[in-house]
Structure 1
Amino acid sequence: MTDVPVTVEARGSDFARLARKINQAGLLDRRPLYYTLRLSLVAVAFVGGWVAFVLVGDSWWTLLVAFASAVAFAQLALVAHDLAHRQVFRNRRPSEIAGRIAGNLFIGMGYGWWTDKHTRHHANPNHEDHDPDVSPAVIVWSVEQAERVKGLPRFVARRQAWLFFPLLTLEGWHLHVASFKALAKESMRHRGLEAALLVVHFVWFFGLIFTVLPFGKAVVFTLVHQAVFGVYLGCTFAPNHKGMPILTKEDELDFLRKQVLTSRNVRGGWIVDVALGGLNYQIEHHLFPNMPTPNLRKAKPIVMAHCAELGVDYLESGLISSYGQALRHLHEVGEPLRKVKARA
C-alpha cells in the first residue's frame, strides 16, 4: 500500500518495464462508476441485513440473518481495503474519511491500525522478520518459528493445519481487540477520532442486538455473526500468501520478484472475483496496489507474459487447491514439534 500512485520510476528495470506496459494500457486509471455501484450494493446489503434483523426479531431464524449480515460485514471490510490502497479516491483525505466510516464505525476495525499493518505486509510480503501477517502469534509459518515458540503457540503448532479454520472463528474478535490495543500507541494518527468511532460502533452494534433479542439469543447471534465474519475474512486472505515461500534476511530479491514469488492467484471466474473482492488477483495487486479492482483482471495477462519472459514463476491455483497448499504448509511446519512430542 502506498500513498504515491505507482508510476514507471525505477524499482528495478524488470518492474519498470512492466509498469510502463500497465500505464500504457491505462490500468491505473480510477473506475468511479464501478466503485459507485459496488459501494452502493454493499451499503444496501449492510443496511438490509440490520433491517431484516429487526423484522425477524425474537426468533431463532435470526441466526440466518446473522450469517448474511456477517457476509455484508466482510464485503465492507474488502471495500475498506480498497479505500486504504487509494483505489477508489486518488487523494488521501477522502480515502481516510470513507475508510474510517467503513472500518471503525461500521465493522469495528481500526482503519489506522490496519493500514499500518497492511502497509508493512505489502512492503515485505511473507518476510519472517518484517511482515506482521507471518509473525508467530498463535500460528507459526516456518520451521524456525516453530522451534522458537513456547506455550500455547507451541501446542497449537503441532496440529495447526487441523485448527486453522476453527481458529478463524476468532479472527473477527482479534481485529476488534487489536484495533483498541493500537490506540495506546502515540504514533497512531487521529487516535481520538478512531477511538470515538470504535466506541460508537460497539454501542450501536451491541445496543441493537441486545435490545431486539433476549439475552440468550443475543449472545448466540453475536457469536455466530462474529464467527462467520472471521472465517470469511480468513478465507479471503489465506489463499493469497499462505503456503508460499517464507523470506528471511538472507533473501535478497528485487521488487518484482519479492512480490510475485510470495503471492498466489486464485482462479474461479466472476463468483470468486466477487467473493474475494478481487484479491484473487493477488500478484497483480501486490505489484500495483493502487490499481482499481476491476482492472486487475485486465492486468493479469500482461503480468503473466512479462513474468514468462523473465523466467519468474507465476503461480495460479483453484480456490480449494490454494487452501490445500496452505494447510499442507502448516502441517509440514508443525512436523518437527510432533516428532519431539512423540519422542518425549
Structure 2
Amino acid sequence: MKLEEKCGQNGSLVGRSQPHLGEEHQEHEKAVASAGAEVQVKQEANGKQEVPRKSLNTYTWQEIQRHSQEADQWLVINRKVYDVTGWADRHPGGRRVLKHYAGEDATDVFRAVHPELGIVQLYLKPLLIGELAPGEPSQERNKNCQLVKDFQDLRKTVEAMNMFDANLGFFFLHLAQILILEVLAWLTVYQFGSGWCVTIFIAFLLTISQAQSGFLQHDAAHLSIFKKSKWNHLLHKFLMCHLKGISGTWWNYGHFQHHVKPNIYPKDPDVKLGPVFVLGDLQPVKYGKKKIKYMDYEKQHLFFSMVVLPFSIPTYIHLKSFRMMYLKRDWVDFAWVSSFYIRHFITFGPFYGIFGTLLLIQFVKFLESPWMTCVTQMSHIPMKISVEENRDWFSAQVLTACNVEQSFFNDWFTGHLNFQIEHHLFPTMPRHNYHKVAPLVRSLCAKHGLQYVNKPLLKAFGDIVRALKKSGALWKDAYYET
C-alpha cells in the first residue's frame, strides 16, 4: 500500500492550543466573547466550519508547496488551507515563525504552541482559502503518517489526563523563592554594609534569583498559568523585563522560532551562530570547503569555555535585546526594562553608588551566564543539526533534543529543562507534569525506532564542548583538504 493511501484524511484540533496574543488580541477576545462567539468557537474546535464545504477551493500538496515565499505564504492546518501572507506582520510570535512553515502542514505545531485554541481559531477564519483535495494525504507524502497519527493519539491521551492544567501553587512557590532572594539581598546590604564578603554573598543570592526568574518567565511565555491571557502577558513582562532586564518581545521572537524548527539551520536562531561558531556536521564542512575562516574553528570549544560561558548574557544577549527594542521602537518593553535598573539603583545605589550598582548588576550576570548557557545549550548543541528536512513534529523534536536525568537538584537547577524532549513536544504543558508523560513519550519512541536520549547532568555539560570540538575538527579537515 502506498504511503499516501495509509494516511488519514481527517484530523481534529482537539485540546488546548495557542499562545498569549498581546493586548490587541486580548481586547479582540473580549469583543468576540460579548458578541456570543463562544458557541461558534466550540463548533470550530469540533471540526465544524460555517463556510460550506462546497464553497472551498481544493488544492494539492504540489500547489501548496509553491506558496512558501516571504510574500506568498500558505500553510495547512487540519486539512484546511490558509493564506497567512497578510497576517504575518501581526503574528504575536513574529512573522518568521509563519514563514518557517509556509508550504507545509502545520497542524501539530499549531496545536503545540498555542494554549488557547478557540481564540486563535477566530483569527484563522478570515484567512481560510480552501482545503486539501479529497485524494491528498493529510501531511506531505514524505512524512510517516502512522507516526503522526500515533503522536496525535498521544496528545489526546495526555489531554485526557489533564496534563495541560497548571498548578498555581507550584508556580507561586517559585515566584515566592525569587522574591525572597531579592529581599534577602537588600536586607543583607542594609544590615551589613557593602564589604567584599557581603557583596559576594549578595551577588550569589541575586544570581540564583536571576536564573530562577529566567526559568519562570519561560513558563509564563509558553503556557496559561492564569486563565486570563492578559495576566500571563503581565507576568511575563514582570519576570523577563523587570526582574531580568531583558526584552520579553525579543525573547519571544527568537525562542518560538527555536521551538517550531529546532536545530534547523538557518531557521533556528539558536544554531545560527556563524561566523562565531560552526555547528553540527554540515556547516563546518561547508565553511571549510569554501575556505571560510573568521576564526580558528578547531579551537572553538576553548573559545566557548573561556569567553562565551561567562560573557554571553552580560554582552551578547543584552545587546541583542536593546537592539530589538530600539529597532522596533518597543517603548513598553523599554519602560519595563528601565524599571529593572531603577529598582537596583534605589535598592543598592545608597551603598554602592550608580557606578558600583552597575558593576554589581554586571557581576551577577557574569555569574549567571555559565549557568544559563549550559542549561539552555546542553540539550540541543550535541544533537542533530541539519538544514530543512521537513520532518514530522514528533521526529523533529526527539532527534534534536535530549533529556537529563531526573533528580530534585537537576529539576531545580535546570528549571525542569532537563525534560527537554517533553517540553519541545508539548511546549504549553506545565513543567511539573513532564515526568508524568515521559514514559509515554519513551514508549512511542521505542515503537518507531527513535532514540530517546537521557544522560547525567555533568555529561550533558561536557557534551556541549565535545560537540563543538568535533565540529571544529570537521571544519579543519575540509579547510585543509587539498
Q: Same fold (TM over 0.5)?
A: yes
SS in 1 for 2:196: coil
Q: Which residue of structure 1 lines up, in the alignment, with residue 174 of structure 2? A: 38
Residue 116 (structure 1) shift: 1.2
Does the 8 Å CA contact 1:87/1:291 hold for their aligned counterparts? no
1:308 is aligned to 446
Is 2:271 the counterpart of 1:134? yes
Q: Give the Cα separation in 2 of the matches to 1:74 and 1:117.
A: 19
**Pair 1:240 & 2:240 matched:** no
Moved more, 324-333 or 163-172: 163-172
Counterparts in 2 of 1:161-176, with a 5 A limit? 161-166=301-306, 167-173=308-314, 174-176=316-318
Relative distance call for 1:108 and 1:215 in structure 2 (3 A) is closer
Alignment of 1:16-95 (within 5 A): 16-61=152-197, 62-95=199-232
Partner of 2:115: 5
Name the CA shift for 1:6/1:160 in 2 (closer, same or farther; >3 Å): farther
Shift of 1:288: 0.6
User: What letter corresponds to residue 256 of structure 1 in structure 2?
Assistant: F
Aligned partners of 1:50, 1:154: CA distance in 2, in Å?
45
| Whole-Å separation in 2 of the counterparts to 1:6 and 1:238 | 29
Tell whether the 8 Å contact from 1:168 to 1:231 is kept in structure 2 after alignment.
Answer: yes
Determine which structure has more spread, i.e. the larger CA radius of gyration: 2
> How has the CA–CA distance of structure 1 residues 274 and 160 changed in structure 2, closer, same or farther, with 3 Å as cutoff?
same
Matched to 1:322, the amino acid is A
How big is each residue's C-alpha offset from its partner over 1:31-86, in whole Å with a ceiling of 9 and x where there is no partner? 11211222222221233223323333220111122122112111011100000002
* 1:235 to partner: Cα distance: 2.0
Amino acid at match of 2:266: D
Residues 1:219 and 1:83: Cα distance change in structure 2 (over 3 Å):
closer
Match of 2:237 among 72, 81, 100: 100
**Structure 1 residue 256: Cα displacement:** 0.5
Count of aligned pairs between the two proteins? 338
Tell me how far apart the structure 2 counterparts of residues 63 and 238 of structure 1 sit (CA, whole Å).
27
Q: TM-score, normalised by structure 2?
A: 0.64
- CA distance, structure 2, for counterparts of residue 84 and residue 229 of structure 1: 20
* Cα distance, 1:322–1:82 mapped onto 2, change above 3 Å: same
Distance 2:201 2:222 in 1: 32
Q: SS state of the match for residue 89, structure 1? A: coil
Classify 1:222/1:38 alpha carbon distance in 2 versus 1 (closer, same or farther; 3 Å). Answer: closer
Residues 75, 277 of structure 1: 8 Å contact kept: yes
Q: How far did residue 310 of structure 1 move?
A: 2.0
Unaligned residue ranges in structure 1 (runs of 5+): none
- Deviations along 1:75-131, whole A, 9 cap, x unmatched? 011100000002522443111101111111111011111011111000000111210
Aligned-residue offset at 1:163: 2.5
Q: Distance in 2 between matches of 1:342 and 1:100?
A: 49
Choose 60-69 or 155-164, whichever is displaced more: 155-164
Q: What letter corresponds to residue 109 of structure 1 in structure 2?
A: I
Instruction: Identify the match of residue 159 of structure 1 among 299, 302, 306.
Output: 299
Q: Alpha-carbon deviation of 1:323?
A: 1.7
Asked whether the 8 Å contact 1:57–1:213 carries over to 2, the reply is no
AA partner of residue 207 (structure 2): A
- Give the match for residue 256 of structure 2: 119
CA deviations 1:119-174 (Å, max 9, x no partner) are 10000001112101001243331354345499x98326331212323312112222
Which residue of structure 2 lines up, in the alignment, with residue 279 of structure 1?
417
Residue pair 1:28, 1:292 contacting (<8 A) in 2 also: yes
Q: What letter is aligned with 1:30?
A: A
Distance 2:18 2:188 in 1: 38
**Residues 318 and 178 of structure 1, relative CA distance in 2, 3 Å threshold:** same
Instruction: Tell whether the 8 Å contact from 1:112 to 1:194 is kept in structure 2 after alignment.
Output: yes
> Structure 1 vs Structure 2: percent identity of aligned residues?
25
Deviation at 1:263, TM superposition (A): 0.6
Corresponding position: 1:180 with 2:311:
no
- Residue 229 of structure 1 deviates from its aligned partner by 1.4
SS in 2 for 1:240: coil
Larger RCO, structure (CA 8 Å, separation 6 or more): 1
Local SS of the residue matching 1:183: helix
Asked if the contact 1:268–1:319 (Cα under 8 Å) also holds between the matched residues in 2, the reply is no
Q: 1:334 and 1:340, CA in 2 relative to 1: closer, same or farther beyond 3 A?
A: same
SS in 1 for 2:212: helix
The 1:176–1:234 alpha-carbon spacing in structure 2 relative to 1, beyond 3 Å, is same
Residues 1:176 and 1:288: Cα distance change in structure 2 (over 3 Å): same
Of Structure 1 and Structure 2, the greater helix share is in 1
One-letter code of the match for 2:439? P
Deviations 1:280-311 (A, max 9, x none): 01101001111111101111111111221222
